[in-house]
Structure 1
Amino acid sequence: MTDAAATAGTGVTPSLVGRRVQVKVPATSANLGPGFDTLGLALAHYDELEVSVPDAPVLEIEVHGVGAGEVPLDASHLVVRAIAHTFERAGVPLPALKLVAHNRIPHGRGLGSSGAAIVAGVMAARGLLEGVVDFTPDDLLEIATELEGHPDNVAPALFGGLTIAWVTPEGPRHKKLMVHRGVSPLVLVPEHEMSTALARSLQPESVPHEDAVFNVSRSALLVAALIQSPELLLQATEDKLHQHYRAEAMPETDRLIRALRAAGHPAVVSGAGPSILVLASDPSERADAIALVEAAADTEWQALPLAVDFKGATVVNAER
């Protein structure tokens, strides 16, 4: 992270009043079966926001779509918190803000809505501070991870594609990979939510050695299946580390995943759930999976046939 104003010799932060940025952030699905807290996939389903610095020294927030009437409209709003944290890390005073959010990513469904909000705030701050402070990709990932707690959702939201995320003594790191064009993701979203904290509380402190070895093999196979050999996705999405421990908290998700996998569909819990991610190998397989769920589900599930997002979060400066 570098201070461009100081580098230019002024040492003074210019006024940000009138700056306006537009941010677009994809949904994500973490874990992908065996890649617990490591693998994540960006999906072409977006939250879009406009953030500006008004003349009046007040905070103004509008939320449209998902979360309207539910999320806070003050400084505790997660996007605003992420903007404030990024400004603090950059050593720049936080100005007044106007935020207009158009949310499409479902909340509490395992599609990375909190990670997307954090990334939206980090990217908005980056755009507002353009020419004042420069951020590297590692800076962005580190700041987002500080707020999210782990990088598996924020990495694909930031960078797109399939990401492998890990943590070093120097901070979180990632590797972005391009997904095979034959992979056709399908997300099945139920009406009910799932608490990520509750899902994590169901994880045991330790797992059997053979289960750990099993997941290491499947995680390695999953990377190969997603980038090169989609025909291996059913075997590659097998997991023994987390999904069955969480099954009691989302019985219908578990039952439908079992039915889908028995029919040959590579279905997994999306993130902490309760949504289901099917990593189909072609569009016709997605249609078959949708038909199976419609016939077998006890409650209503929304089917979202999605593409893989390859860009990640974007920010565009649109000053008045």
Structure 2
Amino acid sequence: MSTRTKTTTRRLAVAAAAALVLSLGATACGSDGGSSSSGSSAPATAGAAGSSAPAAGGATDSSAPKATGDITVFAAASLKESFTELGKKFEAANPGAKVKFNFGGSSALASSINSGAPADVFAAASPATMKTVTDAGGASGEPKTFVKNTLTVAVPKGNPKHIAGLADLAGSGVKVALCAKEVPCGAAAQTALKAANVNLTPVTLEQDVKGALTKVELGEVDAALVYKTDVKADAAKIDGVDFPEADKAVNDYPIAALAKAPNKDGAAAFVAYVQSAEAKQVLTTAGFQAP
């Protein structure tokens, strides 16, 4: 074999070896690409896990009560103005939900619930009236106190009888309206009168606080023992006279979703909303006290 032939043969061998190296390198790169893909799949998995955290959060949110459909709320008469406002705000934040209220004396509402009246939520003006529902197994979960309320003396604008305290209610010729004893505002009135050592005979006993207030508005009585929130809501027509014994008769207001609620998710959502910061702002502006 000539020298030139040998040289050519060596060059071909080197070229073949180089080609083999390049081929192996390409295979190795392909393998790295697979690892990289697997590596990128780790981030993808992490991303999925990362996105699974929001998804879990989403799952939590989706498992939270959904506020849709009609939500029927039985609420103490003294909550009428503030709950009406809260209902509108709740509906605005929950398209598809419609809050329907039944306002009245807490004891009458409790009796209706225990008799099977369809309702989703009960907001009472005292723990005692709520207890009649919970004792009958009508509440879903433990009721929560969301506000407190205190009494005042409602008098016509200008206070023509010059009522200065509870003792003046027992004065000659002073006509007074009270809530019935079984109603929270009536029970609170009895507690306050006892604390002041005042005995009086009302000319009327009303089944809810709005009934007592209306008697003052119409001029049928000279005064009525009602909640501060009711006087504040009717400030254009009524003045209020505070008295120290009111501190002895503060009413807690509990709220609960009902066990037989037709709209259980809506009920839970509304109860949660009433305890929110936004709702508390509305309630305290109306004159209620924080629990």
- TM-score interval w.r.t. the shorter chain? under 0.3
Q: Which one has a larger percent helix, Structure 1 or Structure 2?
A: 2
Structure showing greater radius of gyration is: 2
Taking structure 1 as the reference length, the TM-score comes to 0.23
Q: Which one has a larger percent strand, Structure 1 or Structure 2?
A: 1
Taking structure 2 as the reference length, the TM-score comes to 0.25
